[in-house]
C-alpha cells in the first residue's frame, strides 16, 4: 500500500547530527528506524529518575499506526553530548487515514514531539503540510492548544487519546486556511508581514536578508498576494534558507557572499513556524474586522 523507503523521499537533509526528512507517502517503522534512531531508544537516559515512565516513542508510534495515524515526516535533533545522542528530541508528523487532501492542496497533520533525555514530555500540536512546496507548518497554540503527556502513567493511551482529540479539531485548521486564501494583502501589508517574520527568525539581531527577499515568489501558484500565499512564501524562505546576502565586517567592508542556512533545529523550526502562523492569524483578524 505504501511505497518503499527508497522511493518515498521528497526531502532529506542532515546537519550537525540533526535529521530533517519528509515524504509524500507514509513511512514504515523500518523507515523511521533508519531515519531517526532516537525514536527507538531502548532505554531512558541515565539522568532520568525511577519515576520517569519509559515507553519508547516507537511503541507509542506503533499504537498510533494501529489507530490509523501514519508518519510522513521526521526530525531528529543533534547533540554535542555523545551520551545523549541516541536519546535526543525528535518530531514526527502524522496524518490519519480518514484525512483527505484539504483546501489549497494541504494535508492536516498532528505533530508529535518527544525525547528520552529529559528535555521534553510528549507534546501534540496541530499542523499543516502543503503538497505543492513540501512546507510543513505548525499551527499557533493561540488557535489550537497543545496537548502534553508527561512520562508517567499510561503514556501510550494518553497520547492516542490526545491525537484523537486533536483530530476532531483539525477541520478548524482547514477553515482558517480557506479564510487566509480568500484575503488579499496590499504591498505594504505584505512587507509588514515579512519584516515581522524576520524578527521571528532572527530576533532583535539585524537580519542578513531583506523583507523583499523573504517575499520572493518561487512558483506561479503563490503569485496572488493572499495571506495564505504570503505565509507560505515567508515560511519557505526562512525555514529552507538559501537566500543570498553579503557578509560585512564591523567597519561595513564586504567580506564574502553567503547564503542563509536551513533551520534544522527542532525547537527553532517549531518556534518560527508557530510565530508565522500566529502572525497570519492576526493579519486575518485585521483584514476581516477592518
At 253 the pLDDT is: 85
Is there a domain that residue 233 lies in? yes
16 lies in the same domain as 112:
yes
Count of domains observed in the chain: 2
246 lies in the same domain as 152:
no
DSSP 205: S
At 126 the pLDDT is: 97
15 lies in the same domain as 159:
yes
| 123, pLDDT greater than 80 | yes
158 lies in the same domain as 253:
no
Q: For residues 192 and 198, is the Cβ–Cβ distance under 8 A?
A: no
How does residue 109 score in pLDDT terms, banded at 50, 70 and 90? Answer: very high
152 lies in the same domain as 192:
no
14 lies in the same domain as 149:
yes
203 lies in the same domain as 139:
no
DSSP 135: E
Report the distance separating Cα 44 and Cα 8, nearest Å: 31
Query: Nine-digit cell at 118?
Result: 529529559
196 lies in the same domain as 61:
no
Report the distance separating Cα 100 and Cα 173, nearest Å: 13
Mean pLDDT of 101-129: 83
Mean pLDDT of the chain: 85
How does residue 191 score in pLDDT terms, banded at 50, 70 and 90? Answer: very high
164: containing domain: 5-169
- What pTM was estimated for this model as a whole? 0.86
The 10s digit of each residue's pLDDT in 144-184 is 999 999 888 888 999 999 999 999 999 999 999 999 999 99
Report the distance separating Cα 266 and Cα 186, nearest Å: 33
How does residue 23 score in pLDDT terms, banded at 50, 70 and 90? Answer: confident
Q: Where are the alpha helices (DSSP H) in the chain?
A: 5-8, 29-35, 57-66, 155-181, 187-202, 211-214, 227-240, 266-289
13 lies in the same domain as 155:
yes
Is there a domain that residue 181 lies in? no
Is there a domain that residue 276 lies in? yes
Report the distance separating Cα 19 and Cα 264, nearest Å: 7
| pLDDT-wise least confident of 75-84, 126-135, 252-261, 277-286 | 75-84
| 3, pLDDT greater than 60 | no
| 140, pLDDT greater than 60 | yes
Query: Nine-digit cell at 275?
Result: 510565530
| 83, pLDDT greater than 70 | no
How does residue 286 score in pLDDT terms, banded at 50, 70 and 90? Answer: very high
Report the distance separating Cα 50 and Cα 258, nearest Å: 48
Is there a domain that residue 178 lies in? no
With a pLDDT cut of 90, the percent of the chain lying above it is 59
Q: 54-59 long-range contacts, Cβ below 8 Å, gap at least 24?
A: 54/116, 54/151, 55/151, 55/155, 55/156, 56/116, 57/90, 57/92, 57/112, 57/114, 57/116, 58/29, 58/32, 58/33, 59/156
Sorted by sequence, the CB contacts under 8 Å of residue 177 that are 6+ apart come out as: 102, 103, 104, 106, 128, 228
148 lies in the same domain as 201:
no
39 lies in the same domain as 164:
yes
229 lies in the same domain as 267:
yes
Amino acid at each position: 500500500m505504501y511505497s518503499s523507503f527508497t522511493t518515498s523521499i521528497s526531502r532529506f537533509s542532515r546537519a550537525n547530527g540533526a535529521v530533517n526528512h519528509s515524504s509524500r507517502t507514509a513511512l514504515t517503522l523500518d523507515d523511521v528506524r533508519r531515519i531517526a534512531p532516537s525514536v527507538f531508544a531502548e532505554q531512558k537516559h541515565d539522568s532520568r529518575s525511577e519515576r520517569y515512565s519509559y515507553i519508547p516513542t516507537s511503541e507509542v508510534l506503533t499504537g498510533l499506526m494501529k489507530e490509523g495515524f501514519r508518519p510522513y515526516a521526521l526530525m531528529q535533533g543533534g547533540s554535542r553530548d555523545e551520551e545523549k545522542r541516541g536519546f535526543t528530541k525528535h518530531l514526527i508528523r502524522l496524518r490519519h487515514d480518514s484525512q483527505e487532501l484539504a483546501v489549497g492542496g494541504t494535508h492536516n497533520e498532528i505533530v508529535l514531539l518527544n525525547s528520552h533525555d529529559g528535555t521534553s514530555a510528549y507534546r501534540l500540536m496541530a499542523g499543516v503540510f502543503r503538497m505543492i512546496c513540501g512546507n510543513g507548518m505548525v499551527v499557533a497554540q493561540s488557535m489550537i492548544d497543545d496537548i502534553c503527556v508527561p512520562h508517567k502513567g499510561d503514556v501510550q493511551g494518553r497520547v492516542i487519546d490526545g491525537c484523537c482529540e486533536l483530530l476532531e479539531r483539525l477541520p478548524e485548521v482547514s477553515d482558517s486556511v480557506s479564510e487566509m486564501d480568500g484575503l488579499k494583502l496590499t504591498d505594504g501589508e505584505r512587507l509588514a508581514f515579512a519584516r515581522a517574520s524576520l524578527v521571528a527568525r532572527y530576533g532583535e539581531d539585524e537580519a542578513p536578508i531583506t523583507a523583499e527577499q523573504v517575499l520572493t515568489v518561487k512558483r506561479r501558484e503563490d503569485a496572488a498576494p493572499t495571506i495564505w500565499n504570503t505565509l507560505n512564501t515567508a515560511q519557505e524562505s526562512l525555514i529552507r534558507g538559501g537566500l543570498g546576502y553579503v557578509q560585512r565586517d564591523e567597519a561595513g567592508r564586504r567580506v564574502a557572499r553567503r547564503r542563509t542556512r536551513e533551520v534544522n533545529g527542532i525547537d527553532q523550526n517549531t518556534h518560527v513556524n508557530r510565530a508565522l502562523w500566529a502572525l497570519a492569524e492576526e493579519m486575518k483578524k485585521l483584514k476581516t474586522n477592518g
